[in-house]
């Protein structure tokens, strides 16, 4: 979509604001062009001794009244127009955020966080300015230009008007060339700002790693390079924008010289009064604003075009996971996978191949296997973060894609390997899925996750702020807060993706016991536990061993030990390791 079409659609939907602003601007333009004519008539009246004391005071009062009217109308149209223009920014940011929220992990693997943040701020601001400042300056400048030229041509002297317009085609040519350079410079400026923004975001997120590795100076040097590039790109754009002023200045200087030359000749030959020449000169000065407005409008439009060219591809980018399901309620029944296979883009080896298994409602499935075996990928398939290329996945009969994403994910609580906490209190983080939960319910969920004892030891207890990404908590505490958040949601299916890796075995045992009690209390709630630590899946109804994306073993804990395969050998190794750690 082009910038003109985007802004045009917005203006049509908010036409009352633009029409009322246009009416007030028309009033401003009308009073503006009346003032020089009024002053010219006053000068001729004084020169001819036709204007008395009382009449002069009345004319001065009228001039002051028109000035006050211009002030009031300018305030009015700004309030109306900018209120509407800012709404475009709100709409674009809302649409952009909604698009980002609906995208899957594959989308974010190709995008930079800092770049997305720049698009949501700097680029949308540029488009917003095109809908506000540019529309305003364009309409106001055009209206003033037409009215001033009209009264110069018809109300003063057409000969002066014609000669004054001679330099204007050269100014139009200069504006055209300058605008082309501004478009290129504005695009470079936005890109450099995105790169700078991305570096700052990464540096702040990984500041502890930078300090630990002693990379502060290197990061600062990179920041300096990016900041210099952004500054130079912005300066280039500003230089080209500044080129409008000399073009306007030279044009008006040439027009003034031509006007004074011809006007002096006409006054000398009594073909024009001094008052009329004064009025014409004042009107010529009023053309300064329309000329500057033209340059300002072109600059804003080119910036808006450059910003929209960066933003539009992301707004139009297809969803990595489609959401065309129609079922808004999960059906009761087992979760079935039949021949599921998935290969990540750009990879030759499949992450999953021929996965077939069943999880009846109310049971627990354990997923184990070496690193890279496909455990997390299988959970992402169930969450519909990725779509398998082979096989089918169904829940209670219908296929997963027949459910809406909101219904599917609302029925699943997921605790990933890297637990994410928001910069809020512990209680707010636990109650994220249930904002209306009472403090007692929050504490019960925390007790189930074996984190309540830790929380109450903090000076502020559950009102402790965890900092960005939960930085004030340890890894094990973050995991347990995330588990508590999932338990409070009371979803039909609980997914734990190696979510107990940062807790000790004693805490792990307590959490697993609480999960077993929860399962007995809610017979329709199922759980899938993916873990490197086999002790986390000992009591699972079914344990599946994944290796290279395939199921190599399956059964209960005792059955797998009796088979004496990978599971049994790994169990003996971990038991030996645990006994050595206990010494």
Instruction: Single out the residue in 490, 517, 536 at which a domain terminates.
Output: 490
* Spatial separation of the C-alpha atoms in residues 358 and 335, rounded to whole Å: 6
Instruction: Single out the residue in 288, 316, 344 at which a domain terminates.
Output: 316
Same domain, 170 and 238: yes
Retrieve residue 212's tokens: 């630990």
pLDDT tens for residues 55-103?
777 767 877 877 787 777 777 767 776 767 677 778 788 888 888 877 7
Instruction: Single out the residue in 316, 339, 362 at which a domain terminates.
Output: 316
pLDDT for 317: 80
pLDDT for 110: 77
The answer to whether position 55 is within a domain reads no
Same domain, 271 and 393: no
Kindly report the CATH number assigned to the domain that includes residue 482: 3.40.50.300
Same domain, 156 and 244: yes
Same domain, 272 and 402: no
Residue 351 pLDDT greater than 80, yes or no: yes
One-letter-per-residue 3-state SS of 381-408 = HHCCCCCCCEEEEEECCCEHHHECHHHH
* Spatial separation of the C-alpha atoms in residues 16 and 209, rounded to whole Å: 54
Same domain, 424 and 394: no
The answer to whether position 322 is within a domain reads no
Same domain, 183 and 236: yes
Same domain, 165 and 233: yes
The answer to whether position 33 is within a domain reads no
Task: Quote the domain boundaries for residue 139.
Answer: 82-316
348: CB partners within 8 A, 6+ apart = none
Same domain, 88 and 197: yes
Nearest to 539 by CA among 527, 549, 521: 527
Same domain, 364 and 424: no
pLDDT tens for residues 244-263?
667 766 777 777 677 666 66
Helix, strand, coil content of the chain in percent (nearest 5): 65, 10, 25
Q: Cα-flanking dihedrals φ and ψ of residue 14, to 5°?
A: -120, 35
Task: Summarize the confidence of residues 183-188 as an average pLDDT.
Answer: 76
Give the pLDDT band of residue 45 (cuts 50, 70, 90). low
The answer to whether position 91 is within a domain reads yes
* Spatial separation of the C-alpha atoms in residues 54 and 21, rounded to whole Å: 36
Handedness of CA 321, 323, 325, 327 (dihedral sign): positive
Kindly report the CATH number assigned to the domain that includes residue 160: 1.20.1560.10
Give the pLDDT band of residue 272 (cuts 50, 70, 90). low
Distances (CA, A) of 459 to 129, 463, 475: 48, 9, 20
Distances (CA, A) of 468 to 143, 216, 451, 455, 569: 52, 20, 19, 18, 41
pLDDT for 372: 84
* Spatial separation of the C-alpha atoms in residues 426 and 447, rounded to whole Å: 13
Give the pLDDT band of residue 472 (cuts 50, 70, 90). confident
Mean pLDDT for all residues in the chain: 78
Same domain, 353 and 427: no
Strand partners, 341: 390
Place of tokens 């050595």: 580
Strand partners, 546: 551
pLDDT for 52: 66
Report the predicted TM-score, pTM, of the whole model to 2 decimal places. 0.68
DSSP 156: I
Task: Summarize the confidence of residues 501-518 as an average pLDDT.
Answer: 79
- Other CB atoms closer than 10 Å to residue 387's CB: what's the count? 16
The answer to whether position 34 is within a domain reads no
Chain CA centroid to CA 334, Å: 39
pLDDT for 190: 74
* Spatial separation of the C-alpha atoms in residues 33 and 282, rounded to whole Å: 9
Strand partners, 368: 545
pLDDT tens for residues 527-549?
888 888 888 888 888 999 999 88
The answer to whether position 293 is within a domain reads yes
pLDDT for 9: 73
The answer to whether position 67 is within a domain reads no
Contact between 466 and 472 (Cβ < 8 Å): yes
Count of structural domains within the chain: 3
Same domain, 486 and 497: no
Same domain, 478 and 499: no
The answer to whether position 145 is within a domain reads yes
Nearest to 333 by CA among 406, 399, 410: 399
Residue 583 pLDDT greater than 60, yes or no: no
Give the pLDDT band of residue 140 (cuts 50, 70, 90). low
């Amino acid at each position: 979509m082009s910038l003109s079409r985007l802004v045009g659609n917005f203006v049509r939907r908010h036409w009352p604001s633009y029409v009322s602003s246009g009416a007030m601007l028309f009033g401003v333009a009308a009073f503006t062009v009346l003032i020089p004519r009024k002053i010219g008539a006053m000068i001729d009246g004084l020169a001819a001794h036709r204007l008395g004391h009382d009449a002069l005071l009345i004319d001065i009062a009228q001039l002051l009244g028109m000035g006050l009217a211009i002030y009031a109308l300018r305030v009015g149209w700004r309030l109306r127009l900018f209120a509407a223009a800012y709404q475009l920014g709100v709409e674009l940011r809302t649409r952009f955020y909604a698009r980002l929220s609906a995208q899957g992990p594959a989308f974010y693997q190709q995008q930079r966080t800092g770049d997305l943040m720049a698009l949501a701020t700097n680029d949308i601001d540029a488009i917003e300015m095109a809908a506000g400042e540019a529309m305003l300056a364009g309409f106001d400048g055009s209206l003033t230009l037409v009215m001033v030229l009209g009264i110069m041509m018809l109300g003063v002297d057409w000969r002066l008007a014609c000669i004054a317009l001679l330099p204007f085609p050269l100014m139009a040519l200069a504006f055209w060339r300058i605008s082309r350079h501004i478009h290129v410079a504005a695009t470079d400026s936005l890109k450099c700002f995105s790169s700078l923004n991305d570096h700052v975001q990464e540096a702040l997120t990984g500041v502890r790693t930078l300090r630990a590795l002693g990379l502060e100076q290197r990061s600062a040097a990179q920041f300096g390079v990016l900041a210099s590039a952004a500054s130079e790109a912005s300066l280039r754009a500003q230089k080209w924008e500044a080129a409008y002023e000399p073009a306007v200045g030279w044009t008006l200087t040439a027009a003034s010289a031509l006007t004074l030359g011809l006007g002096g000749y006409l006054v000398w030959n009594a073909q024009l009064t001094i008052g009329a020449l004064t009025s014409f000169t004042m009107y010529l000065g009023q053309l300064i604003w329309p000329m500057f407005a033209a340059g300002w409008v072109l600059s804003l439009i080119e910036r808006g075009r450059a910003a929209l060219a960066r933003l539009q591809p992301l707004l139009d980018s297809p969803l990595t996971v489609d959401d065309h399901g129609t079922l808004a309620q999960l059906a009761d029944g087992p979760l079935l996978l039949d021949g599921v296979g998935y290969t990540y883009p750009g990879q030759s080896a499949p992450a999953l191949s021929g996965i077939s298994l069943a999880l009846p409602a109310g049971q627990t499935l354990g997923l184990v296997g070496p690193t890279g075996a496909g455990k997390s990928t299988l959970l992402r398939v169930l969450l519909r973060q990725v779509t398998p290329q082979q096989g089918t996945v169904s829940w209670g009969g219908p296929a997963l894609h027949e459910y809406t994403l909101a219904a599917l994910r609302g029925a699943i609580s997921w605790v990933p390997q890297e637990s994410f906490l928001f910069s809020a209190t512990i209680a707010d983080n636990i109650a994220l899925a249930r904002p209306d939960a009472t403090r007692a319910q929050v504490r019960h969920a925390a007790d189930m996750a074996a984190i309540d004892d830790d929380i109450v030891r903090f000076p502020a207890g559950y009102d402790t702020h965890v900092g960005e990404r939960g930085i004030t908590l340890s890894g094990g505490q973050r995991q347990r807060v995330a588990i508590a958040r999932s338990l409070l949601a009371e979803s039909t299916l609980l997914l734990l993706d190696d979510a107990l890796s940062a807790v000790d075995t004693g805490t792990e045992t307590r959490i697993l016991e609480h999960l077993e009690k929860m399962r007995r209390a809610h017979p329709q709630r199922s759980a899938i536990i993916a873990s490197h630590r086999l002790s986390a899946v000992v009591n699972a109804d079914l344990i599946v061993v994944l290796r290279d994306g395939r199921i190599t073993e399956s059964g209960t804990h005792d059955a797998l030990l009796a088979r004496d395969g990978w599971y049994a050998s790994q169990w003996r190794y971990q038991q030996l390791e645990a006994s050595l750690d206990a010494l």
